[in-house]
Amino acid sequence: MSTGSGFSDGPKPTPRPVPGCRPIRSFVLREGRLTAAQARALATLWPRFGIDWVPGEALDLPALFGNDRPVVLEIGFGNGQSLATMAEQDPGRNWLGIEVHRPGIGHLLLEIERRGLTNLRVLRQDAVEVLRTGLSPGALDAVQLFFPDPWPKRRHHKRRILNSELIELLARVIRPGGIFHAATDWPPYAEQMLELLEDARDWFVNTAGPGQYAPRPAHRPLTRFEQRGERLGHPVRDLIYRRLPGQTGR
Ligand SMILES: C[S@@+](CC[C@H](N)C(=O)[O-])C[C@H]1O[C@@H](n2cnc3c(N)ncnc32)[C@H](O)[C@@H]1O
CA angle 2, 99, 17 (to 5 degrees): 75
Whether residue 98 contacts residue 120, with contact meaning beta carbons closer than 8 Å, is answered with: no
Top-ranked range on mean pLDDT: pick from 16-20, 158-162, 223-227: 158-162
Which CATH number goes with the domain that contains 66? 3.40.50.150
* Residue 1 domain flag: no
Which atom from ligand 1 is nearest to the alpha carbon of 148? 10
As a whole number of angstroms, the distance between CA 109 and CA 239 comes to: 28
Provide residues with CB under 6 Å of ligand 1. 26-27, 75-78, 98-101, 104, 126-128, 146-149, 161, 223-226
Residue 186 above 80 pLDDT? yes
* Residue 22 domain flag: no
Contacts of 89 (CB under 8 A, 6+ apart): 219
**Percentage of the chain modeled with pLDDT above 90:** 84
Say how many residues make up the chain: 250
Which atom from ligand 1 is nearest to the alpha carbon of 26? 16
Whether residue 93 contacts residue 68, with contact meaning beta carbons closer than 8 Å, is answered with: no
Q: Look at residues 163, 159, 128 and name the one whose alpha carbon lies nearest to residue 27.
A: 159
* Residue 233 domain flag: yes
Q: How remote is the CA of residue 104 from the centroid of ligand 1, in Å?
A: 9
Look at the pTM and tell me if it is higher than 0.85. yes
Which atom from ligand 1 is nearest to the alpha carbon of 98? 21
* Residue 6 domain flag: no
Residue type at position 84: A
Domain extent for 232: 31-243
Query: What share of residues in the chain are helix, strand, coil (percent, to 5)?
Result: 35, 20, 45
Q: How remote is the CA of residue 114 from the centroid of ligand 1, in Å?
A: 23
* Residue 191 domain flag: yes
Residue 3 above 90 pLDDT? no
As a whole number of angstroms, the distance between CA 92 and CA 88 comes to: 9
* Residue 72 domain flag: yes
Residue 4 above 90 pLDDT? no
Q: How remote is the CA of residue 99 from the centroid of ligand 1, in Å?
A: 6
By most ligand atoms within 8 Å of CB, the mutation choice from 25, 99, 122, 128 for ligand 1 is: 99
Residue 203 above 80 pLDDT? yes
Regarding beta strands 71-75 and 94-99, do their DSSP bridges make them parallel or antiparallel, or are they unpaired? parallel
> For the chain, what is the domain count?
1
Q: How remote is the CA of residue 150 from the centroid of ligand 1, in Å?
A: 10
* Residue 13 domain flag: no
* Ordered DSSP codes for 137-159: TT-EEEEEEES-----SGGGGGG
Residue nearest ligand 1's atom 12 by CA = 76
Q: Which residues are catalytic?
A: 149
* Residue 166 domain flag: yes
pLDDT tens-digit readout, 43-101: 999 999 999 999 999 999 999 999 999 999 999 999 999 999 999 999 999 999 999 99
Other CB atoms within a 10 A radius of the CB of residue 30 amount to 10
